[in-house]
A and B are shown apart, each in its own frame.
Chain A
C-alpha cells in the first residue's frame, strides 16, 4: 500500500517536469519554436527542451521517419532513462500520411517503439501540441503512460519489427557505422 502511495506521489510530481528531446527530421520541427517561445511558452508547465536523450523524459518524433532515421530513433529511445514517454507528432507517424506509398518511410511508428500519444494533423497547430502535453501529464498522473513498460515486456516483438524494417538477419548486430560505410 505504502509503495503504491509513493508511486502516486512520484507520478504527481514528475508530470510537472517533462524534459523533452525532439527528434526533428520531419517538417514538424517548424511548429516547435512557437510552442517553446513567448507565444505559447510550454515552460509554464515545466516542459523544457534538453540537449541529449540521456537527460530527457519525452521523445517527440516530429513527422515522417525513413528507415535510415528509424535506426537513430531506436538508439535515441534506448539511451533514455525510464520512465520515458514517446509522442508521435503528425499524420506521418500514424499511417504514413502523405508518404503512405513511399518505399523508404515507415508507416506505423508504434510497431517499432511504443508510442504513448499521437497528435493527428498535417501539421498539428501549436495549440494541439500544448493539448497533447497536457493530456500526457494527465495520463502520467493516472499511470496510463506505460509505453516504457511495454517496451521491456514485448522487447522481442519490437526488436523483430525493427529488424524486419531494416531487412537484417535476426542474428546480425546493427551498427550505424557499418551502415554508413555501405
Chain B
C-alpha cells in the first residue's frame, strides 16, 4: 500500500520549493531594477516591486486572447521552468533529481523557450516573429559552448547526475578551483548572460527596436504568467551555474549537523545565486546590445572554441 503520509510530505515539499522559487524570482526582479537604477545614479523602485507588478498584472480586468495556443503558451512556459527547477539540486537538497539528470535539465531548459515561441507565433504580430527568431538563434548560439563545458565536466567527474556532482564538490572542492574549469566557468557565465537575456544579449526582447519582441501582444494575466516564467528562469539558470561550479551552496553536511545544515546551506545557496545574478546585472548595466549575428559570432568563435579546447584537454585525460 502506498504510504499516504510520505506522499503528502513529498507533495508539500514540492509545493514549498515552487513557492520559494517564485518568491526568490520576484525578489530578483526588484533587485535587478534597483541595482540598475543605482548604477544609473537613480533611486530606483522599491526592492519588492516585482511582487507588486505580478499582482497588478493578475488583477487586470480584461484579457485579450489570440486563440487557445496563445492562452496555453504562457502556462506551458511556467510549467516547463517549474519542472526544471524541481529537477535541480537546490543547496544539496534533491527532490526529483535522479541519475542522468544533467541531460534532462538541458532538455527541460529548452521547453519553456519553445512555449514562449508558440505563444508569440500565435499572436501573429510581425515584431513577435522577429523576436522569436532571434531568441531561437541565440539559444542555438549559447547552447553549444554550454553543452561542451558540461560534457567536459561529466567526463572529468565521471557522472551524469547533478546531485552526485554537487556531492563531489562538498568540502569546498568546488569545480571553479580546478584551473581548467575556472576557464569553463567563465565560458558558462558568458552563456548564462545569453540565457538570462541580459545585455549585450537582450536581442530577442529589444524594447526600443522591436517593441519587446515575443511579448509584444502579451498583456494582463498572460504577461503576468510570462513574467513568472522569466523570474523563475533567473533562479533556475543561476542555480544551474552554482550547482555546476560553486558546489551548489553546500557547506555543512546534513548527516553531521541536522536541520541547521539545511538552513545554512539554503542561505549560502541564496547568497551565491544572488552573486551570480549580480555579476550578470553589472555587465547588463554598462553594455549596449549586440546584433544577432554578432552574438552568434561571439558564442561560436570565442566561447565555443575555448570550450572545445577544454573538452579536448579533459578528454585526453591530462592531469590538471
Q: Which residues of A contact B (CB under 8 A)?
A: 10, 13-14, 16-17, 37-38, 41, 43-46, 50-52, 54-57, 79-83
Contacts and interface: CB of A to CB of B under 8 A. Distances in A.
Nearest to B206: A51
A81 B219 contact: yes
A50 B218 CA distance: 12
Interface string B205-248: 00110011001111110010000000000000000000000000
B37 A52 contact: no
Contacts of A45: 45
Nearest to B46: A46
Given A13-B52, A43-B42, A46-B45, A83 B218 contact: no
A43 B216 contact: no
Which 5 residue pairs are nearest across A and B when measured between Cβ atoms? A54-B219, A51-B212, A82-B61, A51-B211, A41-B42
A14 B216 CA distance: 21
B151 to A, nearest CB: 38
A52 B212 contact: yes
Identify whether the interface residues of A are mostly helix, strand, loop, or mixed. loop
Contacts of B256: none
A44 B43 contact: yes
Given A43-B45, A54-B219, A81 B60 contact: yes
Contacts of B212: 50-52, 55
Contact of B62 (A14, A43, A81): A81
A37 B42 CA distance: 7
B37 A13 contact: no
B255 interface: no
B44 interface: yes
B71 interface: no
B289 interface: no
A54 B218 contact: yes
Contacts of B178: none
B59 interface: yes
A38 B42 contact: yes
**B212, B217, B219: most-surrounded residue (chain A CB, <10 A):** B219
Given A43-B45, A82-B61, 16 more contacts: A10-B59, A13-B59, A16-B49, A37-B40, A37-B42, A38-B41, A38-B42, A41-B43, A43-B33, A44-B44, A45-B45, A51-B207, A54-B64, A55-B223, A81-B62, A81-B64
B101 interface: no
Contact of A17 (B40, B42, B53): B53
A19 to B, nearest CB: 8
Nearest to A148: B61
A144 B62 CA distance: 19
Contacts of A37: 40, 42
Nearest to B33: A43
A54 B216 contact: yes
B56 interface: yes
A18 to B, nearest CB: 9
Contacts of B55: 10, 13-14, 17
Contacts of A56: 219
B294 interface: no
B211 to A, nearest CB: 4
B63 interface: yes
Nearest to A6: B59
Contacts of A52: 211-212, 216-217, 219
Interface in B24-42: 33, 37, 40-42
A38 B40 contact: yes
